[in-house]
Amino acid sequence: MVRVIVEGWLLGLSTGPYCLGACMPFMIPYLFAEGKSTWGGNLRIIGEFLLGRLFAYLLFGAMAGWIGEVLRPHLTQHVTSLALAVTAGIMLLYALVKSVPHWKICAWTLAGLPAIRLPLVLGFLIGINVCPPFLVAVARLLQVGEVARGIVFFAGFFAGTSLYTLPLLGVSPLTRQVRFQRIGALSAVLVGSYFLLTAFLGQ
């Protein structure tokens, strides 16, 4: 079991920069727009985001261990497209609410989300967006074929990749300025639109 967790952790460490790249388009605009003036406040946001990712990874770890070879191609393809579209859609709605608060329709659509905690939701959805390192991890687990080992492997993978998200705290000083909050909200609209469009086009 120790070998499995170390293997997951090393895979996370070696491929983490790619994971950071996948998370940044969602996290940086969100932190600009919604970040707190204290490092602790932003650490909490990143913590929630990471928690969402952890849930996603553990879920996927369990599923990958359980499902084995049978459903692999269908699972990865469909879940990826759907998760990307949903993530982008939520991001876009959130950004529209921030950018044009007088558009009531967006506010109404997102009314339930604050209770669920947006960083957690985003973290979960990005967590199940399949990136190449994630695919490598899934492929390895499909060979293992065991639920417990799957969870442990992805816990290690999460720990390895999460180290790379800590530099995101560096944007904390910027989030105090209204200017950066506006930039964050607008860039979230653009990022959300891009991912929604590419998900729609099946890119």
Residues of the shown chain interacting with another protein in the complex, contacts defined by CB under 8 A: 21-22, 24-25, 28-29, 32, 99-100, 179, 182-187, 189-191, 194, 197, 201, 203
Instruction: Report DSSP state, residue 119.
Output: H
Instruction: Report DSSP state, residue 36.
Output: -
Pick between residue 9 and residue 94 the one whose CB is nearest to another protein: 94
Separation CA 162–CA 154 (nearest Å): 12
Give the nearest distance from C-beta 22 to another protein in angstroms: 6
Give the nearest distance from C-beta 175 to another protein in angstroms: 13
Please give the angle made by the CA atoms of 58, 52 and 198, to the nearest 5 degrees.
100
Pick between residue 15 and residue 151 the one whose CB is nearest to another protein: 15
With beta carbons less than 8 A apart as the criterion, state whether 58 and 137 touch: no
Helices 178-201 and 2-34 sit at what angle, rounded to 10 degrees? 120
Pick between residue 58 and residue 81 the one whose CB is nearest to another protein: 81
Separation CA 7–CA 137 (nearest Å): 10
Give the nearest distance from C-beta 144 to another protein in angstroms: 29
Give the nearest distance from C-beta 111 to another protein in angstroms: 22
Pick between residue 66 and residue 194 the one whose CB is nearest to another protein: 194
